[in-house]
Amino acid sequence: MTTGGAHCATARPAAPAPAPADPVRWPDVAAPPAASRPRTAIAAAVVRHALRRLPLRVRFADKAVLGQGGPALDIHRPTAFHGRIGRHGLIGFGESYMAGEWDAPDLVAALTVLAAHAPELVPAPLQRLRGLWALRQPSARRNTPVGSRANISHHYDLSNDLFALFLDETLSYSSAVFRILPAQWGLLADAQRRKIDRLLDLAGVGEGSRVLEIGTGWGELALRAAARGAQVTSLTLSREQRDLARERIAAAGLSGRVEVELCDYREARGTYDAVVSVEMIEAVGAEFWPVYFRTLDERLAPGGRAVLQAITMPHDRMLASRSTYTWIQKYIFPGGLLPSVDAVAETVRDHTRLTVARRDGYGAHYAETLRLWRERFTERADEVGVLGFDETFRRMWTFYLAYSEAGFRSGYLDVQQYLLTKEDTVR
């Protein structure tokens, strides 16, 4: 264990450098934005000050080591690493990983330490000046009806074949609910079905139920609801997901019970006994949370039930970062924002006639779900390449899956299942 200063490290083999990023596909990774020397120097001082106090072992190319001991993090090109962070903060941190300027033998372990200490990484004076140094979300990424289609397409229309490489047979892209932790790959499909059945049970879905699903995915929930005898209308903005979901529904002989529409939730019509939405609120954006929850209210018949599965983050961090442009938003989920439990409760209370009747957290289950996806993605990296996704993309997705897993392992993130009820009376 070190005492937090700079020390000499034993020699270690250099990790093979990734292939250079394609400057057309990855302009900000291939050619990092120039940061002034003062800004780079300030970033280096802030980063090194934070690293000295963390339970990490941060090893620099010149053999200097910082940290209090723990998971290793190797900085191969310190000047570029600090320059990116000085220019673009945490976006630069992620881009630096994509460029191969730093790595970690156990990426999840290192990122879990950083996630657990997220509020402390930036000194309080700089936190108060966040508006001056943090990038703001681009207006083009707002989740307007037009913007939402582009944002959803960016991620979910990448390739159905890509998602099939690392998801289980249900093609469920949300947290499973396991019987036993830690989880095993062979039990993931059953755990996904358990999650879906629990949501349908909460919503009271059965024979003759009229169900609205906001966010189709690849159709597993709609299939299981229809198999119970429900009539399902499912909405998505992803053409790739819609097409495959329709194929799966037809193959199951349930086309007469399920309609999958390319439709924004704001365009939904009719009333339903149950409304179900699984990890879709993350794509709505704070600006439109009231509209989203009012839609649930308006589409739900009196006496009906709405059920959500939602990833949440701490309320104070949500308030501090809600306008900040992040690496996840730039590269993975444009326009995305995680709500807090408080934000959900306040929006439901202030903008709907609904009541939060139940909330259950499953953060540890999401960490295990993500681990299984990440391991599967890594095992099948060559097949990802055959689909046309280059090494920079593969590093990006490895970072995304590890970064997300670390959020849940640290407790910084959680996932909730909500039951919202609507009285069988008119106020």
Query: Under DSSP, is residue 103 helix (H, G, I), strand (E, B) or coil?
Result: strand
Q: Is a pLDDT exceeding 70 seen at residue 10?
A: no
Exposed e or buried b for every residue in 163-187, given b needs 16+ CB within 10 A?
bebbbbebbbbbbbbbeeeebeeeb
The predicted pLDDT at position 124 comes to 59
**414-422/210-214 β-pairing:** unpaired
The predicted pLDDT at position 5 comes to 43
| pTM > 0.85 | yes
Bigger pLDDT: 118 vs 8: 118
Contacts of residue 270, Cβ cutoff 8 Å, sequence gap at least 6? 210, 212, 233, 299
Identify which of 93, 394, 360, 339 has the alpha carbon closest to the alpha carbon of residue 201. 360
Write out pLDDT tens, residues 27-53.
999 987 676 788 888 889 989 999 999
Exposed e or buried b for every residue in 192-209, given b needs 16+ CB within 10 A?
bbbbbbbbbebbbbeeeb
Mean pLDDT of 8-27: 72
Q: Are 367 and 412 in contact (CB under 8 A)?
A: no
Identify which of 241, 233, 298, 238 has the alpha carbon closest to the alpha carbon of residue 266. 298
What is the C-alpha to C-alpha distance for residues 64 and 376, in angstroms, rounded to an integer? 34
The predicted pLDDT at position 88 comes to 86
**Which residue is associated with the tokens 């053999």?**
63
Beta bridge pairs of residue 306: 275, 420
**7-8/64-66 β-pairing:** antiparallel
Identify which of 244, 237, 209, 239 has the alpha carbon closest to the alpha carbon of residue 224. 209
Q: Which fold has domain 140-422?
A: Rossmann fold (3.40.50)
Lowest mean pLDDT across 13-17, 126-130, 172-176: 126-130
The residues of the chain that CATH labels 3.40.50.150 are: 140-422
Identify which of 137, 54, 48, 109 has the alpha carbon closest to the alpha carbon of residue 324. 137
The predicted pLDDT at position 125 comes to 54
The predicted pLDDT at position 153 comes to 96
Q: Are 171 and 362 in contact (CB under 8 A)?
A: no
Q: Is a pLDDT exceeding 80 seen at residue 15?
A: no
Please give the distance of CA 425 from its chain centroid, rounded to a whole number: 37
Contacts of residue 139, Cβ cutoff 8 Å, sequence gap at least 6? none
The predicted pLDDT at position 379 comes to 98
Write out pLDDT tens, residues 225-247.
999 999 999 999 999 999 999 99
Bigger pLDDT: 97 vs 7: 97
Lowest mean pLDDT across 127-136, 192-201, 345-354, 388-397: 127-136
Query: Going along 237-321, which residue ranges are E strands?
Result: 258-262, 272-278, 300-312
Q: Is a pLDDT exceeding 60 seen at residue 106?
A: yes
Element (H, E) at 122: none
Mean pLDDT of 323-328: 92
